[in-house]
Chains A and B, each alone.
Chain A
């Protein structure tokens, strides 16, 4: 096991940005900002289920 294995749902992700982007209208503003904030809050969903699995 020498490197992180890539799956369709990588670590720290529940709904990948690419999947969310398809649902959104064209973004005239700062797309990177939308992506960054989506990923930050999406990671909370990841942490919730792994906290349940590992800690509680």
Chain B
């Protein structure tokens, strides 16, 4: 038993990293990804935690200490709307401003005909992604940013000054939050870095999902070329922001690669080549990726099995976790698989039963991290998360 916080932290870090190497630690690590849950648990509204990140940090520290988890995310709510408002980004619906204060923030995708990137913009994006983002995309998504050639304004200048300074402030705060989690509760910050799949970025922030679906049929080669143009840039962002000690993985949440958004044939042609390239390049640099397979990904398991051993930690949401274990368990650590509806609507006994089923099926030889299937928002019941935590601590001993 650890006798001080640093010893406890090191014990947990060893447990977590051993599992991520697909080996057997002393017991199953508990690493819940908890977003709006922490706000409700700590008595804050969604507006409180998205608009005042110190409250989000405080709520996360409270949960980490009181639930006694091995690892968690420093701030799973992530978006600080003070920052997005400073930049004047148009695409967020903010609790307390555009939404009731007790509702989670939302990303508002524009209608198909008003996408941030038009269907004829592909060549400009492919030629110079960074130039396109500054010259075309940012003026379209930020109210105060004017396009090159238009008269500049004070609000344009302030968007960059306030946006840049606020970004530094927020990232500085996140670094401190990691130190406080370590010092105050011995909790490991579970992930580091920033990565998205090229195809997802085109769907989410550029063409929109509907527009991109039309492009898959009308100009498929442009979509492929755009993914290839973006990939080296997204790789460098991930590498630059990854854990310098290479202990915890880069988090990768994927949006449009699963069924039914893309068929396996479309996945193979459009989504997978650049994703695979990025993951292999990160692996070559000693960086592991948390492959957060949100949704139903099992039709794509044969592609994921192509990745180098230990290059990812594979997180299971709606896929059959036993099938995942058969396909990938010899290559990668798995995490997740406890249904969110059980955590929100079931009883503690239901949760214990779900945990036992998953542990018995996939965790007998190590290489498993306990977590819900998807990020826990404010519908997860505290007594159920407590049951998941306590049951795993006891039953998950090796």
Q: A-side interface residues toward B, CB under 8 Å? A: 1-2, 4-5, 7-14, 43-44, 46-56
Contacts and interface: CB of A to CB of B under 8 A. Distances in A.
B309 interface: no
B196 A54 contact: yes
A42 B335 CA distance: 38
B128 A7 contact: yes
Given A1-B231, A1-B277, A55 B78 contact: yes
B79 A56 contact: yes
Contact of A49 (B78, B130, B201): B130
Given A48-B163, A54-B201, A55-B78, A7 B236 contact: no
A51 B233 contact: no
B228 A5 contact: yes
A49 B134 contact: yes
B130 A48 contact: no
A2 B236 CA distance: 16
A5 B232 contact: yes
Given A54-B195, A54-B196, A54-B237, A8 B164 contact: no
Contact of A48 (B80, B129, B167, B277): B167
B386 interface: no
Contacts of A53: 133, 137, 201, 205
Top-4 shortest CB links A-B: A11-B236, A4-B232, A1-B277, A50-B237
Contacts of A11: 232-233, 235-236
Contacts of A14: 130, 134
- Majority SS at the chain B contact face: helix
Contacts, number: 78
B229 A5 contact: yes
B194 A54 contact: yes
B88 to A, nearest CB: 11
Contacts of A43: 240
Interface string B218-246: 00000000001101111111001000000
Contacts of A4: 232, 235
B233 A50 contact: yes
B167 A7 contact: no
Nearest to B274: A1
Interface in B49-105: 78-80, 83-84, 87, 89
28 contacts: A1-B231, A1-B273, A7-B128, A8-B128, A9-B129, A11-B232, A11-B235, A11-B236, A12-B240, A13-B130, A14-B130, A44-B164, A46-B130, A47-B237, A48-B163, A49-B133, A50-B133, A50-B237, A51-B237, A52-B87, A52-B89, A53-B133, A53-B201, A54-B194, A54-B195, A54-B196, A55-B194, A56-B83
A31 to B, nearest CB: 25
A55 to B, nearest CB: 5
B234 A12 contact: no
B307 interface: no
Contacts of B235: 4, 11
A55 B131 CA distance: 18
Nearest to A6: B232
A50 B205 CA distance: 11
